[in-house]
Amino acid sequence: MNFNVINDTKEFDLQYHYDGTDLGACVTKCYTSFKVWAPTASNVNLLLYSDGMEQTLPKQIIQMTVTKEGVWEYGVEDNLDGTYYNYEVTALGETHITGDIYAKACGPNGIKSMVVDLTTTNPEGFNQDTFVYDFMMQPIIYEVHIKDFSYDQSSGVESKYQGKYLAFTELGTCIDLDRNKPTCVDYLKKLGITHVHILPMYDFGSIDELGDHTQFNWGYDPVNYNCLEGSYATDVLDGKVRIREMKKMVQALHKAGMGVIMDVVYNHTYTTDSYFQWTVPFYYYRTNEDGSFANGSDCSNETASERSMFRKYIIDSVVYLAKEYHLDGFRFDLMGLHDVETMNFIRKALNDLPNGEQILVYGEPWSARTPAMPEGIYPADKAHLFMLDKNIAIFSDDTRDAIKGSVFLEADSGYVNGKPELASMIPHAVRGWETPSQIISYVSAHDNFTLYDKLILSTTQKQDFISRNEAVIQMNKLCAGIIFTCCGSVFFQAGEEFARTKRGIGDSFSSPPELNMLDWKRAYEYIDLVEFYEALIAFRKTIPVFMSKEKIKDESILFLEQKDPYLISFVVQDENKKQCFIVYNPNEREVDVALPDGEWSVVCDGTSFVKENHSFTGRYSVMAKSVTILRT
C-alpha cells in the first residue's frame, strides 16, 4: 500500500492532530524549545550550527523525543536566539536534513532555520505602529513587486536600497532631484490608493540570495512560509535583518497612510523536495490514484488544505504574519486549490485579532488545473463564492475580460477595445455582480499583459509599445473610468496608471528586472494618465455606493437607457447627496446622450477632470471611447 494512502485518512488526522501553538523554535530569556510535528518519523535529530551557510556542518546533534501526537521535541535552559538549526528526519526509510517548516527566521536561501527572539527584530516605534481602516470601506489596492518598485535608477532611491524592502522607507525621492516629480512612496501618497499589495516576500526559492542583484523572479515558489525573502534585504547572512527591514517597510507605509497586503502562496511549494515532504512525507500534498503528486497549480504539485495539520498550518501562519508584521491583508494565490472551510477559518481567525475585521482577505477564485480535491470538499472558487465568508473577496475575471477581452488570447477584445456589444455585461460589473464585498474589480495584474500592452496588441497592427499611442491612452482612460466607477474593491497593477509596458511580454515572471521594473520617467511622460487615475480615485472616494461593502440597494444605481445600445449610463449619489451622471461610450465616435432632469456640470470630459463653469440641460455630447462624469 502506498504510504500517502495511509496518512490521507480522517483516522490519521484524528489520532495525530496537535493543537499546540508552540511548534517551531520558541525562545525566552533563559529557555529554548524545539517542536516539530512528524508522526510518521522513526527518528528526528536536532542539528545546531554556528552559522546559516549551507555547507556548515553541525556543531551539535541532539536526539529528540516524541509525544503521542507525533511531536518531536527538545528543550534546553539556554537562550539560543540567533542559533541556526535543521532537523534530520527519518521517515519511510529515508533520511533528510530539512529546514523547520515552522521556522520564523532562516539563513541564506532558507536552507538553515534560525532561532529568533522576535522582540529583538522590532524597529524603533514598531510597537506603536498602527493602521486603522474602516472594514466596511472598499479598498483601492495597488499591486507592486518589491524589486519593480525601486530598481530603476531614476526612482531616486539610494542605490543600496534599490530593489529592497528599505526603498519603501525613503521619503522625498524624485526624478533628477526635481521635487515636482515624486517617485515611490511619495508618489503613492499623491495617487491616493488605500493599500499596497506586495508580490511574494515570504522566502521563495528561485533567486540565489547569495548571487547578484540582476536576478529577477515574481516569487511564486515558496520555500519557507513564515520566513521572509532574503534577496530584498540589505544583508542575507543575518536572519534578523530581513525581518527588521520588512517591518520598517510596513511601518513606513503605515506612516504614509497606506495598508500593506501580503501575497501568499500556500497552494503549492517550489518543488516536492520540500521541507513539508521531508518532515511528513506525502501528508501535505494531494496525490493522484497512482500515488503521484497531483498538480492543480501547474507548478508540479498542489497542497492539501483540507488535512487538519495543514489547515492549522495555514491558519497559524496567516495569523502569525498578520500579528508579527502588522499586515493589513492577504491575497491568496490560486485560492481555488484551497477548500472553502479553510478559507472561512482563516477569515474567522483574523477577525478574532484586535481590529482583525479590517484585515483584507481575497484571492484568485480558480486553479491552474483541476484540483484533486477529495469528495465532499469544496474548492474556494467562483462556483462556491456563496459558501465563502462575505468578507472574502475574489478577483472578478468576468469584469476584467468583459472590459478588455480574454487574458489568454492577445488579439481578443472587450467592451472598450472592439466589442461594444458586450455592453449587456457592464451593468453587472458596475453593480459588483451583486456581491460587492466579495468582488475585486480590475483590468490588470502582474499576470498576463499590462493593460497598455493588451490594448496595443488587440487594437493595433504595428504593435509599437514605445511611442505614445493616443487612441490607446484614451482606451486606457475608459478602462480605468469603468473600474473606478464599479462597486467592489478596486485593484490595479503598479504602473497601469502610466501606460506601463513590458513590450508585449505577458508572463514576465523571470524576465530581467529592466523589463519588469517601474520606469519612473514614464510616469511623467504619461502624467496626464496618472492625473486621470488620481482624479478618478478622488472621485470614487466621494461616492458612498462605490466605497461601501454593503449590499447595493436597487435605487443606489439608476441605469438610464440611451438610444445607442452600446452606451452605459447611470446616476449615483455623492456624499453630499448630489447626483452624479456617469456615461461609458465604447464607440469610436462622439455620441449625444440624454441627460436626466436638471442642470449638469462636467466633472470629467473623458480625457481629464475639468472645472467648467457652464452647465448643461437636456443633452450632452460624450467623446469617443470615453467615460464622462457630470454632477448636479
Distance CA(445)–CA(220), nearest Å, equals 14
> Could you tell me how many residues make up the chain?
632
Tell me if 203 contacts Ca ion by CB under 5 A.
yes
Smallest distance from Ca ion to CB 141, Å: 25
Pick 242 or 331: Cβ nearer Ca ion = 242
Smallest distance from Ca ion to CB 219, Å: 8
Pick 54 or 590: Cβ nearer Ca ion = 54
- Type of residue found at 453: D
Pick 125 or 211: Cβ nearer Ca ion = 211
Nearest by Cα to 604 from 524, 556, 534, 548: 534
- Site for Ca ion, residues 224 to 263, rule: CB under 5 A: 229
Give the number of residues in contact with Ca ion, rule: CB under 5 A.
2
Tell me if 100 contacts Ca ion by CB under 5 A.
no
User: If you count DSSP H runs as helices and E runs as strands, how many of each does the chain have, helices first?
Assistant: 16, 28
- Per-residue x/- track, 47-66, Ca ion (CB under 5 A): --------------------
Q: Within a 10 A sphere around the Cβ of 548, how many other Cβ atoms?
A: 18
Q: Which stretch binds Ca ion (CB under 5 A): 145-153, 167-175, 203-211, 553-561?
A: 203-211
Smallest distance from Ca ion to CB 225, Å: 12
Smallest distance from Ca ion to CB 336, Å: 26
Question: Which residue has its beta carbon closest to Ca ion?
Answer: 203
Pick 203 or 401: Cβ nearer Ca ion = 203
Determine whether 434 is an active site residue: no
Q: Which stretch binds Ca ion (CB under 5 A): 37-45, 59-67, 147-155, 199-207?
A: 199-207
Smallest distance from Ca ion to CB 98, Å: 16
Residue with cell 437636456: 618
Tell me if 221 contacts Ca ion by CB under 5 A.
no
Handedness of CA 410, 453, 431, 132 (dihedral sign): positive
Cα-based angle 448, 450, 454 (whole degrees, multiple of 5) = 85
Pick 86 or 459: Cβ nearer Ca ion = 86
Nearest by Cα to 263 from 220, 312, 313, 223: 220
Smallest distance from Ca ion to CB 284, Å: 19
Distance CA(208)–CA(620), nearest Å, equals 59
Smallest distance from Ca ion to CB 206, Å: 8
Catalytic residue among 203, 209, 333, 401: 333
Q: Which stretch binds Ca ion (CB under 5 A): 200-208, 485-493, 504-512, 556-564?
A: 200-208
Q: Which stretch binds Ca ion (CB under 5 A): 53-61, 186-194, 201-209, 575-583?
A: 201-209
- Type of residue found at 506: G
Q: Which stretch binds Ca ion (CB under 5 A): 6-14, 195-203, 358-366, 469-477?
A: 195-203
- Per-residue x/- track, 145-184, Ca ion (CB under 5 A): ----------------------------------------
Pick 203 or 333: Cβ nearer Ca ion = 203
Distance CA(305)–CA(367), nearest Å, equals 14
* Beta pairing class for 259-264 and 329-332: parallel
Task: Count the helix, strand and coil residues of the chain and give each as a percent rounded to the nearest 5.
Answer: 30, 25, 45
Long-range CB contacts (< 8 A, 24+ apart) of 2-11?
2/287, 2/291, 3/40, 3/92, 3/281, 3/282, 4/281, 4/282, 4/285, 4/287, 4/291, 5/291, 7/40, 7/280, 7/282, 7/283, 8/282, 8/283, 8/287, 8/304, 8/307, 8/374
Q: Within a 10 A sphere around the Cβ of 117, how many other Cβ atoms?
A: 17
Smallest distance from Ca ion to CB 229, Å: 5
Pick 72 or 278: Cβ nearer Ca ion = 278
Q: Which stretch binds Ca ion (CB under 5 A): 196-204, 322-330, 522-530, 539-547?
A: 196-204
Pick 209 or 401: Cβ nearer Ca ion = 209
Task: Say if residue 617 is exposed, middle or buried (CB neighbours under 10 Å; 0-12, 13-18, 19+).
Answer: exposed
Catalytic residue among 81, 152, 339, 364: 364
Write out the DSSP string of 529-586: HHHHHHHHHHHHTT-HHHHB-SPPPGGGSEEE--SSTT-EEEEEE-TTS-EEEEEEE-
Determine whether 447 is an active site residue: no
Residues known to be catalytic: 333, 364
Task: List residues binding Ca ion (CB under 5 A).
Answer: 203, 229
